[in-house]
């Protein structure tokens, strides 16, 4: 009797250990899968949150935020150090101009005129890199990554677009598009902060 009980107890403990050891589930947003981890500049990042950008009831893109460790406030995300990634997957065809204009508008909404003037030249470089795409077909994979020592890198698919944009303040400015005081979408902000 004791042996049977011990065997069942061992099996229960083993099953519990396996469940605890399983990785957290990746997010599935409108059919787009965001892995629970990503590697950027040799560092492992975790998916902080993911959500859906809609406009006039249309699905525009799915977006995921990867950080070195989880953060549940915009302030905590902003003060995080090390590599970071914003991963966007388009859910409809967008012209590069539509996409670029929306991001620049988000930058302007979340910065004073004086703050934006300091970002202007780099925002123009970023916009020009986006415009070189011409179009972002449905399913385009767009990554905005902060690479310490190099800058903000724009990649589409596996291709780097434009030059890395210097200054961590620029990457933080991009984050404010989604996480600032006037985010592009409040529900999306909450999703990226893992609050949904």
pLDDT digits (tens, 9 = 90+) for 107-157: 999 999 999 999 999 999 999 999 988 888 899 999 999 999 999 999 999
Question: Is 2 inside a domain boundary?
Answer: no
Angle at 32 between CA 27 and CA 36, to 5 degrees: 30
Range of the domain at 151: 24-192
Q: Is residue 7 part of a domain?
A: no
Instruction: Please tell me the least confidently modeled range out of 23-27, 94-98, 164-168, 173-177.
Output: 23-27
Please state the domain count of the chain. 1
Q: Is residue 183 part of a domain?
A: yes
Rounded average pLDDT over 83-90: 97
Closest CA to 45 of 104, 10, 86, 79: 86
Of 24, 29, 98, 92, nearest to 64 by C-alpha is 29
Quick check: is 150 in a domain? yes
Q: What is the CATH number of the domain that holds 84?
A: 3.50.70.10
What are the beta bridge partners of residue 155? 143, 160
Instruction: Report the pLDDT averaged over residues 39-54.
Output: 96
Cα(104)–Cα(86) distance, rounded to whole angstroms? 16
Name, in order, each residue with C-beta under 8 angstroms of 6's C-beta and a sequence gap of 6 or more: none
Say what the pTM is: 0.84
In a domain? residue 63 = yes
């Amino acid at each position: 009797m004791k042996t049977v009980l011990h065997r069942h107890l061992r099996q229960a403990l083993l099953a519990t250990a396996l469940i605890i050891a399983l990785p957290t589930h990746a997010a599935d947003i409108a059919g787009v899968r965001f892995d629970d981890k990503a590697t950027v500049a040799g560092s492992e990042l975790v998916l902080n949150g993911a959500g859906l950008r809609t406009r006039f009831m249309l699905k525009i893109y799915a977006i995921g935020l990867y950080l070195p460790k989880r953060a549940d406030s915009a302030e905590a995300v902003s003060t995080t150090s090390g590599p970071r990634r914003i991963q966007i997957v388009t859910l409809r065809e967008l012209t590069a101009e539509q996409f670029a204009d929306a991001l620049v508008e988000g930058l302007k909404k979340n910065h004073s005129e004086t703050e934006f003037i300091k970002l202007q030249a780099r925002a123009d470089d970023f916009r020009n890199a986006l415009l070189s795409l011409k179009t972002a077909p449905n399913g385009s994979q767009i990554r905005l990554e902060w690479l310490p020592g190099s800058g903000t890198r724009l990649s589409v698919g596996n291709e780097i677009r434009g030059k890395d944009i210097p200054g961590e303040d620029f990457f933080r400015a991009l984050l404010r598009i989604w996480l600032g005081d006037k985010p592009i979408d409040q529900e999306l902000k909450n999703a990226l902060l893992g609050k949904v």
